[in-house]
A and B are shown apart, each in its own frame.
Chain A
């Protein structure tokens, strides 16, 4: 009796979202196919061969700038307008990159030796940071031992004299 009741449910009702949880796979498939049929019947399509988009390897360019590698249009000479001269270097830098790189090697701000010295001290200070307090004290002690033990008087409160 119960089975008969189930079959009597209308298709529209079965298509609803909340009804689909209880459906078995076969009826689900059936419903989907029917839906597809409805959609494909409603859809129009042009009876034409498929258009193939050709991969174009030609780029059209209307500007001379990229073709001829033209320079930036503002120029200043012999310090007439320092702002523009700075700008010229900046805007035309892509053509003169190699020269600039060569300059860099010629006049470095910090010499290699100085760099090494600074880096050494940097490594020490940063290394200290990651040591435990006790280890730090040991390190300090070693330093002080090597430095002929400069007055090891502990800092303490000094009572002011009246």
Chain B
């Protein structure tokens, strides 16, 4: 710990660099002015709040790194990211750890009375109440069979606890969650690729969308479900997505050019 403290660097200097578990990132000392601003009111209390995202933990005055990867930073003023900016570690991993609020694709494994058990790729299966579907009542049970694919959201995801999923939002609407259609192809990619694909203005998705009609579902747990008009088209989309993780932009454009020739 002492060595890590000695090698601690200000967080700003390490943005974009590789950080390792145990590294300590120092934050700029909080000026007293901020403390005074906190007293002005609830609206003024928020500026200066810093979000420490996945892979980081707050320790004392700084941040402790818990995952290896690239340190990312976003300036204040984004949507929902806290108003004092945000730091997080962009890591490559394959094992999913349930996080509250994440949208994932799960496979129903057991129907046990009032709950379904759903495999989400985490260390433990998530539970899903039969009442957590849009329009479900005690009498009107949702039609969910073992083996069905579920697109849902984690409502409970704590350490050492069974995660719990729901297929409705806080106002009781499905908003696209629930059982995904019975056809299509499910495959798994790394968690980093999912985030890459879901990023706003992702070129891969934009280029794919201009090829032919298809539907796709991304789960934050690394699962992707694709469905197109023919099996061949479905497979093409799946193969492109799997291959494009380590492609450069030029290689990708070449691959797309090949596809559009067909």
List the interface of chain A (C-beta within 8 A of B). 55-81, 84, 87, 91-92, 94-95
Contact = CB atoms under 8 A, between A and B. Distances in A.
B151 to A, nearest CB: 7
Given A58-B50, A84-B176, A95 B30 contact: no
B195 A68 contact: yes
A87 B169 CA distance: 14
Given A57-B34, A58-B50, A59-B51, A95 B217 contact: no
B111 to A, nearest CB: 24
Contacts of B217: 73-75
B100 interface: yes
Contact of A67 (B84, B88, B103, B216): B88
Interface string B76-100: 0011111010101000000000011
Contact of B213 (A55, A63, A64, A80): A80
6 contacts: A55-B35, A57-B48, A64-B54, A66-B79, A67-B54, A67-B86
Contact of B53 (A61, A84, A95): A61
B176 A65 contact: no
Contact of B82 (A59, A76, A81): A59
B208 A77 contact: yes
Interface residues of B, number: 57
B74 A67 contact: yes
B245 interface: no
Contacts of A76: 213-216
Contacts of A81: 215
A59 B49 contact: yes
B86 A75 contact: no
A70 B199 contact: yes
Most B C-beta atoms less than 10 A away, residue of A55, A58, A87: A58
B239 to A, nearest CB: 17
Q: Which 8 A-B pairs have the closest CB atoms?
A: A78-B213, A77-B209, A80-B213, A73-B218, A58-B58, A70-B198, A67-B53, A66-B80
Contact of A65 (B34, B101, B210, B229): B101
A58 B52 contact: yes
Interface string B160-181: 0000000000000001100000
Given A62-B53, A63-B53, A77-B214, 11 more contacts: A65-B101, A66-B80, A66-B86, A67-B53, A67-B81, A73-B198, A74-B215, A77-B212, A80-B228, A87-B175, A95-B200
Contacts of A60: 52, 56-58
B242 interface: no
Contact of A63 (B35, B54, B219): B54
A55 B84 CA distance: 15
Contacts of A87: 175-176
Nearest to B78: A69
B72 interface: yes
Interface in B21-41: 27, 30, 34-35, 38
Best-surrounded residue of A73, A74, A75 (most CB of chain B within 10 A): A73
Contacts of B48: 57
A61 B58 CA distance: 10
B216 A64 contact: no
Interface in B215-254: 215-220, 227-229
A75 B200 contact: no
Contacts of B227: 80
A68 B82 contact: no
B151 A73 contact: yes
Contacts of B151: 73-74
A68 B255 CA distance: 27
B195 to A, nearest CB: 6
A73 B215 contact: no
